[in-house]
């Protein structure tokens, strides 16, 4: 079994993959003969998997996507070629859910200001009085693996949780209510995005900004391109958005928006690390090998 590894940032998987066969790290200088013989291609949010890329892999049997999203993958081309598509969204769902809570609580407790003041003596607590999470109305956009985990944690912490999902994939747990996208915009104190597969345009744009509660907190740990960053910046400047916490952003990793976002003291940005924890790595190692063996009957 020949495996091409193109999942930058997930190199911890390589050692485990070696039990399945030979592994080579993909780059533009790879030997074309090796690519022609490859059985499995491992990717993350990059590279873009389209017809042009797949032409380099005529013998490919399976494409493995590390993580939950697949917006960089042309599913129709895979189906046309008969290439099996393997995902491991459950591998890092706990990690992403916990990171989401970190961001939500960080916004509520004004952690950016608090940390800055904590390093200045004498201590000054003026301007860092925060808010509690309990009792807040939280809207979850996308009720899949991660959305479910976030919702269950928020319910246990005393939140009122509303969810919207275009596919209504999972039944709501007690304390979680399915509702419309519009109701979430108008009713929620906090809106958290956990949706992966919006193909065209933005899910949240300037017109949606006009429908939210004033002072709403926005959190995004899913995909940067589902939310219009210019609309978010407008909302921050106007005071419509009371705080923004993102682990993803349009144009990452070198987004043109980062410099402007840095000027706000009610914005938290982390560098797409929500799914990166030692426990998630261990689960991914096991799941990737197991799913490849099962799918290809190895």
- One-character DSSP codes across 116-159: HHHTSSS---TT-----STT-EEEEE--SHHHHHHHHHHHHTT-
- The one catalytic residue in 272, 279, 286, 290 is 272
* Cα separation, 264 vs 260, whole angstroms: 8
- The one catalytic residue in 87, 99, 252, 276 is 252
Averaged over 3-22, what is the pLDDT? 93
Q: 2-89+278-296: CATH homologous superfamily?
A: NAD(P)-binding Rossmann-like Domain (3.40.50.720)
pLDDT digits (tens, 9 = 90+) for 141-155: 999 999 999 999 999
Domain definitions of the chain by residue range: 2-89+278-296, 93-269
Q: Give the model's pLDDT for residue 17.
A: 95
pLDDT digits (tens, 9 = 90+) for 95-104: 999 999 999 9
Q: Is residue 125 flagged as an active site residue?
A: no
Q: Is residue 99 flagged as an active site residue?
A: no
DSSP bridge pairs for 86:
64
- The one catalytic residue in 223, 256, 286, 290 is 223
Mean pLDDT, the chain, whole residue set: 93
pLDDT digits (tens, 9 = 90+) for 23-79: 999 876 666 777 889 999 999 888 889 999 999 999 999 999 997 778 789 999 999
Q: Is residue 252 flagged as an active site residue?
A: yes
pTM: 0.90
Averaged over 206-221, what is the pLDDT? 97
Res. 236: pLDDT tops 90: yes
Helices 93-108 and 111-118, interaxial angle, to 10°? 70
Q: 93-269: CATH homologous superfamily?
A: NAD(P)-binding Rossmann-like Domain (3.40.50.720)
| Residue indicated by tokens 């399915």 | 178
Q: Give the model's pLDDT for residue 149.
A: 96
Q: Give the model's pLDDT for residue 206.
A: 96
pLDDT band, residue 175 (cuts 50/70/90): very high
């Amino acid at each position: 079994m020949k495996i091409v590894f193109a999942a930058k940032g997930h190199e911890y998987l390589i050692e485990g993959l070696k039990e399945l066969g030979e592994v080579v790290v993909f780059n533009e200088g790879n030997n074309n003969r090796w690519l022609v013989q490859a059985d499995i291609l491992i990717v993350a949010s990059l590279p873009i998997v389209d017809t042009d890329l797949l032409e380099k892999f005529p013998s490919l049997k399976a494409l493995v996507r590390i993580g939950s999203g697949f917006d960089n993958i042309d599913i129709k081309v895979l189906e046309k070629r008969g290439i099996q598509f393997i995902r491991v969204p459950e591998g890092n769902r706990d990690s992403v859910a916990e990171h989401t809570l970190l961001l939500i609580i960080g916004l509520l407790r004004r952690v950016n200001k608090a940390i800055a003041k904590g390093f200045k003596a004498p201590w000054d607590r003026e301007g860092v009085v925060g808010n509690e999470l309990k009792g807040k109305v939280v809207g979850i956009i996308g009720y899949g693996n991660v959305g479910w985990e976030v919702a269950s944690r928020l319910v246990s912490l005393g939140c009122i949780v509303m969810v919207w999902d275009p596919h209504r994939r999972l039944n709501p747990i007690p304390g979680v209510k399915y509702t419309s996208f519009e109701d979430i915009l108008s009713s929620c104190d906090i809106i958290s995005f956990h949706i992966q597969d919006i193909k065209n345009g933005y899910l949240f744009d300037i017109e949606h900004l006009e429908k939210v509660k004033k002072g709403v907190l926005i959190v995004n740990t899913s995909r940067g391109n589902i939310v219009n960053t210019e609309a978010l910046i407008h909302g921050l400047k106007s005071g419509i958005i009371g705080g923004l916490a993102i682990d993803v952003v349009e144009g990452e990793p070198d987004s043109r928006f980062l410099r402007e976002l840095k000027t706000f003291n009610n914005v938290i940005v982390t560098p797409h690390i929500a799914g990166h924890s030692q426990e998630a790595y261990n689960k991914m190692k096991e799941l990737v090998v197991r799913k490849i063996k099962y799918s290809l009957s190895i």
